[in-house]
Chains A and B, each alone.
Chain A
């Protein structure tokens, strides 16, 4: 039986064991009585704004302070949040924000990678819980220091590998892979993130940051400030920034980190100072179920390849292609694999009626035809921005209601692999990844 979300809401029926369709908006209403959390945000660029928008949808989150070295962004935050009745104080220096805002419970860090370590460590030491965008840092030492500070202070540090809280991914991991062993033995994983490079990001002429302010904050000039993700000085690498999200899913779903990496990377800019624009990396895993090879590619030539960003797991019983975009999510059953009808009955999977084949025909022996690969869908929707569940998980953990889905020590294992991939590209050979990290 297929239960459609609308029907469920109307009927008000309980959520079944296999369903994770409780709309976030309902959860939001349920937590209306939550204690109010005072929040500051450091870094009000694209991702910072996205996180602000997600947090504004949550009951009991009150923005009190916003920090960015760009006055233009400070004004944006002040204006935007005022529309929602949040009066914030704005700062150019995060240290001043931490000093003058003793009432903050939590800080969201969405600044460039190279300042994450100092901003996160200072916030944790000042007694605030922190949500930090990945990568954790542009250096492995910086990332390691964040794990240590989290452990020493006892404060929470959630790293924004947001797929860890996405209900579609949680369903695939918990119900399909862990509980039902849907794919059988997984032998191969491939991930891809395909997008198109745009022009360098610019800025309105009248909103230039003075040179002395840029230099004081570590930036060479306005262009590098606006395009920091491309420069080795500020960023842990585009592969880590984007592909890291996917590496994290592979690590999570396999329950392991890779033992080795071989990779190649290309770029059309100066390779000495700027990051690779295309990366292809191969990883070897040795999880308990048996060896797995993974191939991860990040390509920047076009966004018109029709399949966007996804992770694909191939096992003896079929394959799972999963993405933040439901359009690119699908599950295929191998013709020789056991039936999945029981999983459909449990609402662990959905299948389109038109794709069903009559069982009598399917069970008949026919050597003249190739077996039919059936397509299934995940019966899970996310009716909020993709950053919402992970940020909500953080705030609920701050309230003591749950555990973090991606604490810094877990994210660190992913970041180590991303850093090792960059080393492998430079070394042009296969590198071992020590398990000790």
Chain B
């Protein structure tokens, strides 16, 4: 996925923790093999080569990640769209683009558009963190912090005698501290890659904000939402946080402005 992943886990046996973390990275490799558009034999590459009307069976990871992606597309009114790079995408908010459909019975993806181009760069890392966390639960390691670079962080139960995993975020002049537990936080911005987030509804680079953070119960949702926040209007963000009470959003409109918070929730204090 082109980024470094880290696992911090609380355990009574260092070797057991290392082996559990290794199991997580094994899963991560499989997910990358399925979801990366840079891997020739991945599910996503195969989907991107299909003609309109054709379909292909995909792995459970691919299917579930696309399910979350579709859910986030609905929740954000198209501000998050893994098919944003498709040729022929209408780029109109009143004309939603439907590039594919998920067929649950066969765990397959049917292509509905010419030149569909899926790019899970805005959700794949978060999805992988969620799966890695579930892997740790299988090993009965309930307290962990998992990071995909510094952009998406997922916490399960807090370390002993702690309210959560401490995490600072926000601009230098308006830092916030979160004690993260059973939640994820993800950040997007223009400082590293410039205006690289494209608004699927206009086809233009995001210009509404320079940095943003999303907090959600799962890393996949936080990851996707932090991408969408870059292009969503304040009213849209407010409405989303009202509908989804477990979600919080923090937006920095310009460098030097103060951080705008939407819907304080149980995760963020």
Contacts and interface: CB of A to CB of B under 8 A. Distances in A.
Interface of A: 5-6, 9-10, 23-26, 28-29, 46, 53, 56-57, 80, 83-85, 198-206, 326, 381-386, 388
Contacts of A326: 40
A36 to B, nearest CB: 14
A165 to B, nearest CB: 13
A83 B41 contact: no
B140 A25 contact: no
A381 B19 contact: no
A83 B51 contact: no
A384 B22 contact: no
A341 B50 CA distance: 31
Interface string B105-134: 111000000110000000000000000000
B107 A199 contact: no
A381 B107 CA distance: 24
Contacts of A29: 54
27 contacts: A5-B49, A6-B49, A6-B115, A23-B49, A24-B46, A25-B46, A25-B50, A28-B56, A53-B59, A57-B56, A83-B107, A85-B106, A199-B15, A199-B18, A200-B19, A203-B19, A204-B20, A204-B138, A204-B139, A205-B16, A205-B140, A326-B40, A382-B40, A383-B40, A383-B45, A383-B49, A386-B41
A290 B4 CA distance: 48
A4 B109 CA distance: 23
A60 B15 CA distance: 44
A201 B24 CA distance: 11
B174 interface: no
A85 B105 CA distance: 7
A384 B43 CA distance: 7
A80 B107 CA distance: 11
Interface string B212-240: 00000000000000000000000000000
Contact of B54 (A26, A84, A205): A26
A383 B57 contact: no
B51 A9 contact: yes
A228 to B, nearest CB: 16
Interface string B15-40: 11011101100100000010000001
A385 B34 CA distance: 9
A384 B47 CA distance: 10
B106 A84 contact: yes
Given A205-B139, A326-B40, A382-B41, A198 B22 contact: yes
Contacts of B107: 56, 83-84
B60 interface: yes
A383 B16 contact: no
A25 B41 contact: no
Interface residues of B, number: 29
A202 B114 CA distance: 46
Contacts of A53: 59
Contacts of A25: 46, 49-50, 54, 56
B41 A202 contact: no
Given A202-B16, A206-B140, A383-B41, 6 more contacts: A6-B49, A23-B46, A25-B49, A53-B59, A56-B107, A201-B19
**A-B pairs with the 9 shortest C-beta distances?**
A202-B19, A383-B46, A204-B139, A57-B57, A25-B56, A204-B138, A199-B18, A383-B49, A382-B41
Interface in B48-91: 49-51, 54, 56-57, 59-60
A9 B105 contact: no
A350 to B, nearest CB: 14
Contacts of A6: 49, 115
B57 A84 contact: yes
Residue of B51, B106, B138 ringed by the most chain A CB atoms within 10 A: B51
A413 B23 CA distance: 35
Residue of A26, A53, A84, A200 ringed by the most chain B CB atoms within 10 A: A53
Nearest to A207: B138
Contact of B41 (A28, A199, A384): A384
B57 A56 contact: yes
B140 A201 contact: no
Contacts of B18: 199, 202
A306 to B, nearest CB: 16
Contacts of B105: 85
Contacts of A9: 49, 51
A53 B19 CA distance: 25
Nearest to A6: B49
Residue of B15, B18, B59, B114 ringed by the most chain A CB atoms within 10 A: B59
